């Protein structure tokens, strides 16, 4: 049991670090090389198809609206996001992705799709279920232990 714990710990730490490193490398080398990991995750939180309020996106990212405002200003300057106020209530700010922002979203989504496909490729249905169950248990533990979401 102790050996398994050590192996699982090493794998989790290595996976986490590798995924971050690969994401950073992919961003640096790709079409969207001017984005940071934080910025791509902000783009992901905004989403592809609807205009969202700053409050909604900040809540999804678990950051303050002030912190999000700083990030959005940078993304606007880089051409990935646009900001609009609604006529009915000028205090409400809606944000959405530009064409370039949607491209960044799709490229990041493809990265994740390829990673997941590769992770389950060659597994039989029982192995897929075990992997899914194990990852769900780890996720549940972390959320409960650290009061996430």
36-145 topology per CATH: Arc Repressor Mutant, subunit A (1.10.10)
Q: Tell me the per-residue pLDDT of 99-116, one tens digit each, with 9 for 90 and over.
A: 999 999 999 999 899 999
With 0-12 / 13-18 / 19 or more C-beta atoms within 10 angstroms meaning exposed / middle / buried, residue 102 is: middle
Q: Tell me the per-residue pLDDT of 17-62, one tens digit each, with 9 for 90 and over.
A: 998 888 888 878 888 899 999 999 999 999 999 999 999 999 999 9
**Residue ranges of the alpha helices (H) in 30-124?**
37-46, 54-61, 65-77, 99-120
Reported pTM: 0.84
Nearest of 7, 28, 11, 6 to residue 111 by alpha carbon? 28
Give the three-class secondary structure for 87: coil
Residue ranges covered by each domain of the chain: 36-145
């Amino acid at each position: 049991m102790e050996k398994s714990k050590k192996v699982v710990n090493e794998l989790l730490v290595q996976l986490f670090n590798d995924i971050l490193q690969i994401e950073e490398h992919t961003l640096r080398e790709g079409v969207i090389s001017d984005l940071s990991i934080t910025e791509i995750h902000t783009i992901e939180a905004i989403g592809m198809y609807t205009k969202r309020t700053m409050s909604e996106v900040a809540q999804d990212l678990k950051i303050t609206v002030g912190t999000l405002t700083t990030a959005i200003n940078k993304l606007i300057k880089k051409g990935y996001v646009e900001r609009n106020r609604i006529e009915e209530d000028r205090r409400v700010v809606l944000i959405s992705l530009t064409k370039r922002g949607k491209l960044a979203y799709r490229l990041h989504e493809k990265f994740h799709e390829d990673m997941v496909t590769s992770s389950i490729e060659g597994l039989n249905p029982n192995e897929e279920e075990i992997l899914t169950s194990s990852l769900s248990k780890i996720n549940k533990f972390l959320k409960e232990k650290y009061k996430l979401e």
